[in-house]
Amino acid sequence: MAARKSTWEKITWTWQPASEREAGDSIVRNFLLHWFPAKVARESLSWGYSFWLGTVSAVLFLILTITGGVLMFLYVPSVERAYLSVKDLEFTVSFGWFLRGLHRIGAHLMVAFVFVHMVRVFLTGAYKNGTATQQNRPLNWVIGVVLLLATLLLSFTGYLLPWDQLAYWAITVGTNIASAAPVVGEAMRFILLGGNTIEQGTLIRFYVLHCFFLPLLVLALFSYHMWRVRKDGGLACVDKQALDQKREKVVPSKSKTYSLLGIASGASVHVETSLVDEVQHTVPSSPTLTRRLALVTMVTLALSSVLTLLFHAPLEAAANPAVTPNPAKAPWYFLWLQELVTITTFTVGGYTINGALIGGIIIPGLLVAAAIAWPYFDKSSVRSVGVWFAPERRKQNLIFLLVVAGILLFTIIGTYLRGPYWNWYWPWQSWPVMPRKF
């Protein structure tokens, strides 16, 4: 019966489908849902498997895009006015402090959640292909690594914009690390700064990187990342489920194919319609997946808003090239790098190698290279795909966790045990009061 629908029902029916057919239709018709399959495995919706960390990261990126867009109306990327316009945001613009705070907390959370998402994917072996055809999870892992780097770069370029002391000294240290790179280093610093000294050219370059190029990169890669998840047959835990299902000797549902391509990509004329038994293990994406997505979005927004109220965004003194704050500390997620560049200066013979090269370029470079190459050297079996702490991957997971622990340890040292002049202080020792200026 074709019941007459009110306008409201016409707009909302795809979100509240009345039948299986409407549910499938909603995915096809709704632009926002086109990444999703019509049906999704119940297993992949579980809270305990993925913790929805990727989704949270994506929601944070959305929050950052929206707050960032508003901030662009209010911020002036000029050396004379940048600091004052951020001060205005803090003290004169209505709710400016909240906008800036939410943008900042969102950035911190995004770095944390993207990183933890990566840890989750590694520990569940989800960067490996399962048994389905046309999968390329290693490539999606590589895209993920680039997205993590882009997130870090977005943060770095972002905290330079207020042009306060943190900004100025971060840019000094950051671009000096870049210049420590062999051969291209000096030229790279010159291009980044737009000259030899940190001035207007530098600010506008980082501003454009922060507001245009890096978000564009993240948006493009994120879209591809999501599309690949769909092409790879969903989360890796579904591959695990499919394997278990085969063990149970459940007859997979089959459909006939008449196309040459269908025969070529499948094993026989009969091609399985999906990885898992649809009737038993799947539910319509709309409304099951969409409802959870809405919930995760709301919780993420609520969490970041509450954190914004609790932790006020700091603003240091205006940039002053003459005086470096003491101690001069990077934001928490770069403190492990600060510790690395501090402790990695070596003298070989009469020649001293700057810590910037070893701790700032070689070690992080090797870590990124290892992360990118790892899926291609991983020889563990398909049984360990989508399984938390698979026994077969114990050694790999241990190595990965040791690197993560090292990063965390350095971060903790940088946060709590380093005082003025980057000297070591135990928590029970108090820092000496330093003269602010010579």
Partner 1 sequence: MKSKQSWLNARISNLRAKTETEQQRLERLKQEVLGEGEAASRPTRRSFLTRLGFGATLLALAGQAYAFLRSLKPNVLYEAPQRFKVGTPDQFGEGGKFLEDKRLFVFRQGKTFYAISASCTHLGCTVKMEKLNQPKKVKTRQREFEEQYEFHCPCHGSKYYGDGTNYAGPAPRPLDYFKLELAAEDGQLIVDMEQKVGQDFRLTV
Looking at the Cβ atoms of 262 and 420, the one nearer to partner 1 is 420
Q: Which of residues 36, 169, 336, 374 is near partner 1 by CB under 8 A?
A: 169
Q: Which stretch binds partner 1 (CB under 8 A): 119-127, 191-199, 273-281, 382-390?
A: 191-199
- Nearest by Cα to 254 from 267, 239, 273: 273
Q: Which stretch binds partner 1 (CB under 8 A): 9-17, 54-62, 233-241, 341-349?
A: 341-349
- Strand 351-353 to strand 346-348: parallel, antiparallel, or no bridges (unpaired)? antiparallel
Q: Which of residues 177, 242, 275, 335 is near partner 1 by CB under 8 A?
A: 177
185 binds partner 1 (CB under 8 A): no
Q: Which of residues 344-403 bind partner 1 (CB under 8 A)?
A: 344-345, 352-356
- Nearest by Cα to 113 from 345, 318, 304: 304
Q: Which of residues 119, 191, 250, 399 is near partner 1 by CB under 8 A?
A: 191
Give the burial class of 143: count Cβ atoms within 10 A of its Cβ; 0-12 exposed, 13-18 middle, 19 or more buried.
middle
Tell me the β-bridge partners of 282. 41
CA distance 65 to 110: 12
Phi first, then psi, for residue 156 (nearest 5°) are: -60, -50
CA distance 60 to 64: 6
Q: Which of residues 38, 142, 166, 173 is near partner 1 by CB under 8 A?
A: 173
Please report how close the Cβ of residue 195 comes to partner 1 at its closest, in angstroms: 5
Please report how close the Cβ of residue 143 comes to partner 1 at its closest, in angstroms: 24
Please report how close the Cβ of residue 85 comes to partner 1 at its closest, in angstroms: 22
Q: What is the 3-state secondary structure (H, E, C) of 338-369?
A: HHHHHHCCEEECCEEECHHHHHHHHHHHHHHH
Tell me the β-bridge partners of 39. 284
Please report how close the Cβ of residue 155 comes to partner 1 at its closest, in angstroms: 19
Contacts of 32 (CB under 8 A, 6+ apart): none
Question: For the window 51-90, what string marks contact with partner 1 as x by the rule CB under 8 A?
Answer: ----------------------------------------
Please report how close the Cβ of residue 176 comes to partner 1 at its closest, in angstroms: 4
- Nearest by Cα to 384 from 129, 30, 180, 82: 129
Please report how close the Cβ of residue 208 comes to partner 1 at its closest, in angstroms: 11
Question: For the window 306-335, what string marks contact with partner 1 as x by the rule CB under 8 A?
Answer: ---------------xxxxxxxx-------
Please report how close the Cβ of residue 421 comes to partner 1 at its closest, in angstroms: 5
Phi first, then psi, for residue 282 (nearest 5°) are: -120, 160
CA distance 79 to 203: 7
Please report how close the Cβ of residue 79 comes to partner 1 at its closest, in angstroms: 12
Binding site for partner 1 (CB under 8 A): 169, 172-173, 176-177, 190-191, 194-197, 199, 201, 321-328, 338, 341-345, 352-356, 420-423, 438
